[in-house]
Amino acid sequence: MKRSLLIATILLAGLAAGLTAGLLHREPAPRAATLFATPRELPPLQLIDQDGAPLTPERFEGRWDVLFFGFTRCPDICPMTLGRLRGLARQLPERRAPRIWLVTVDPEHDTAAVLRKYVSFFDPDFSAVTGTGQSIDELARALGVAYVKVPDGDSYTMSHSAALFLIDPGGRYAGIFNTPHDWRLIARDLGRLTR
């Protein structure tokens, strides 16, 4: 009799612990994206895509867009990020998958033709952005992106933001994935945002 009481007590305690854990688990987990309370309008853009077509703000409408600032002569973080983004975009149904854009911070080298070859290697659906240094500066300023040319021997490299920038289906700057990137959380957030 005493033994069955003990077993019942243990079972009840276990049940209570399980319920508590379950309730705690329902708390919203942290998200990777920082979304702005009010999405921001983009300024007029004097940029072109990888096919040389003008990049008007309307091009960002109708879907979520993810922008990454980088350059084609970047051997590590840029291909790593584009590879990850390809994986994320492909996890989602095609109609929901965000458009992925590489905005070059090295327009001196990264012409539309160079970018076309580069981004299509990662995914034929990826797009890229180039233009004059000034026009890239304007977009960078609007998104709060910093980048700088760093001399390296008789050449140079680029130091650039590693964040991902979110444009909502209204074509407005809606948020940012800051570093360090937790790709699992980014995938979850993109899945929720594009639902």
Query: Is residue 101 helix, strand or coil?
Result: strand
How large is the greatest C-alpha to C-alpha distance in the chain, in angstroms?
87
**Which residue, 130 or 161, is less far from other proteins as judged by CB?**
161
**Which residue, 59 or 163, is less far from other proteins as judged by CB?**
163
User: Least separation, in Å, of the C-beta of 142 and other proteins?
Assistant: 17
90 lines the binding site for other proteins (CB under 8 A): yes
CB 173 within 8 A of CB 35: no
Residues with Cβ within 8 Å of 195's Cβ and at least 6 positions away in sequence, in order, are: 96
H helices of 26-150, in order, are 77-91, 112-122, 133-143
**Which residue, 62 or 144, is less far from other proteins as judged by CB?**
144
User: Least separation, in Å, of the C-beta of 77 and other proteins?
Assistant: 5
118 lines the binding site for other proteins (CB under 8 A): yes
Side chain identity at residue 169, one-letter code? P
Region of residue 71 (left: phi > 0; alpha: psi -120 to 50; beta: else): beta
Residues with Cβ within 8 Å of 162's Cβ and at least 6 positions away in sequence, in order, are: 77, 81, 179, 181
The one among 98, 102, 106, 160 contacting other proteins by CB under 8 A? 160
User: Least separation, in Å, of the C-beta of 135 and other proteins?
Assistant: 21
**Which residue, 81 or 135, is less far from other proteins as judged by CB?**
81
The residues binding other proteins (CB under 8 A) are 72-77, 79-80, 82-84, 86-87, 90, 117-118, 121-122, 146-147, 150, 157, 159-163, 178-180
